[in-house]
Amino acid sequence: MVENFSEWFHDILEEANITDSRYPIKGMAIWMPYGFKIRKYTTEILKKLLDKDHEEVLFPMLVPESELAKEGIHVKGFEDEVYWVTKGGQRELNEQLALRPTSETAIYPMYALWIRSHIDLPIKYYQIVNTFRYETKHTRPLIRVREITTFKEAHTAHATKQEAAAQIEDFIELYKEFFDMLGLPYIISKRPEWDKFPGADYTMAFDAIMPDGKTLQIGTIHNLGQTFAKTFDITFEDKDGQHKLVYQTCAGLSDRVIASIIGIHGDDKGLRLPPIVSPNQITIIPILFKKGKEEVLSKCMQIKEQLESAGLRVNIDDRDIRPGKKFYDWELKGTPLKLELGPRDLENNITIAMRRDDSEKIELSLDDNLIDNIKDLLDKYEENLSKSAWDFQDQHFKFATNIDEISELVEDGNVVAFDWCGKEECGKEIEDKTGYDILGIWKDSKKDAKCISSGEPAKYVALIAKTY
């Protein structure tokens, strides 16, 4: 899988019924039923986390050109990626309309209308929508798409700079919690000036290392300062009677979250889904012979109901095919736990359990402890999934003390940390010399450390990697 991750990824999307990329528009695909369920459970977790102190809204998909064009830096960042609607039927539109590449310019003119006084603040809205980006880099299903189908964007407005900065920290905590629930490891860094979100003061990013050693930006959080507030005239009357500009932040996640669930947890046999998003957490496979068939099936039904009443998602694979084929299929689809039940098991009042992450067969008694024992197995599986993913990341995080070492280590599929003076010119030179991208600033350098390139006093420990 590591040898040819790209091929593995494409194949699994099709074989596990996640997406179908044969739709006749490049960069746009269909969510198939199994994939749609994974997407649904993933989105539900995110909504639950956000709903604690944000509110969900839904904005139109079209943005008038006049609004999109207002914020100069922002539009410059997106102008080559915008799809335009220019006609209504046969008629040319008076003003062309953009399919949102992201929704700042749709949302902020409305914020200007809604925000009047300090009592209207903070505003914390989010939406989960499709956005469109005419990406020119090589498109890949879920990873770099032209229709981002699951774009979660949160947009906040605050009375003070401090509150906006605190909101950035809140988003970081929220994303950590979200990715932790999915067992996904991440590296958090502050993007370099030349790679921040168009219009932001600064951008904090979450990156994940994919099995091929390339990093994938799986989430971003932007402190927008007052740039958009100035452009869209978003002001409020403060307690002191003065009219002031708001401070804003925004934060986004996409289909890439699901790409990382698939890529990071998967193995040669297929998916290994975290129970929390797995369409089926337990798959029961009856071993059927002519004799005793009804009894086995009815016991399976009974177990299913028992587990479902404990809040678990369970399916029975009673297809008329060889059990071996069923095992193969559910390994491919990444169901966390399989239960096998045949006539002899029924006699002994047991079932054979198998976790997706090891092939050990565990005898479970069909007594009152069944639910607890199964939950215990699911917990251990979930822990192991997360642990092996974090281990992989730790093993692929290295420190370099000179430029040549950077190249060697990155080439071997590592994210590499190094001391940096923090100057843009020097950073770009490092990117040029190595041919890789600086992800961002990871933390401050130790006292007396020297920049790996300029030799000047180092300010930061920066990260560099191959990127998607």
C-beta closer to ligand A5A: residue 26 or 361: 26
Contact residues toward ligand A5A (CB under 6 A) are 102, 104, 133, 135, 144-145, 148, 153, 197, 217-220, 222, 250-252, 254-256
* Shortest CB 135 distance to ligand A5A, Å: 5
C-beta closer to ligand A5A: residue 223 or 434: 223
CB atoms closer than 10 angstroms to residue 60? 11
* Shortest CB 260 distance to ligand A5A, Å: 10
C-beta closer to ligand A5A: residue 175 or 236: 175
Q: Which residues lie closer than 8 Å to 65 by C-beta, 6 or more apart?
A: 84, 95, 96, 97, 98
* Shortest CB 12 distance to ligand A5A, Å: 18
User: Quick one: how many helices (H) and strands (E) in the chain?
Assistant: 14, 23
The residue at minimum Cβ distance from ligand A5A is 252
C-beta closer to ligand A5A: residue 105 or 445: 105
* Shortest CB 186 distance to ligand A5A, Å: 11
Cα radius of gyration rounded to whole Å, the chain: 25
* Shortest CB 339 distance to ligand A5A, Å: 36
Q: At what angle do helices 256-265 and 33-50 cross, to 10 degrees?
A: 110
Q: Residue 182 is encoded by which pair of tokens?
A: 């999915």
Measured between alpha carbons, how far is 415 from 425 in angstroms, rounded to an integer? 21
Q: Are 338 and 327 in contact (CB under 8 A)?
A: yes
214: left (phi over 0), alpha (psi -120 to 50) or beta: beta
Q: Residue 82 is encoded by which pair of tokens?
A: 């915008």
CB atoms closer than 10 angstroms to residue 143? 21
Q: At what angle do helices 370-395 and 293-309 cross, to 10 degrees?
A: 70
* Shortest CB 218 distance to ligand A5A, Å: 5
C-beta closer to ligand A5A: residue 42 or 102: 102
* Shortest CB 323 distance to ligand A5A, Å: 39
CB atoms closer than 10 angstroms to residue 283? 26
C-beta closer to ligand A5A: residue 57 or 301: 57
Q: Which of 201, 206, 123 is nearest to 163 (CA)?
A: 123
* Shortest CB 177 distance to ligand A5A, Å: 17
C-beta closer to ligand A5A: residue 330 or 468: 468
C-beta closer to ligand A5A: residue 13 or 282: 13
Measured between alpha carbons, how far is 338 from 357 in angstroms, rounded to an integer? 11
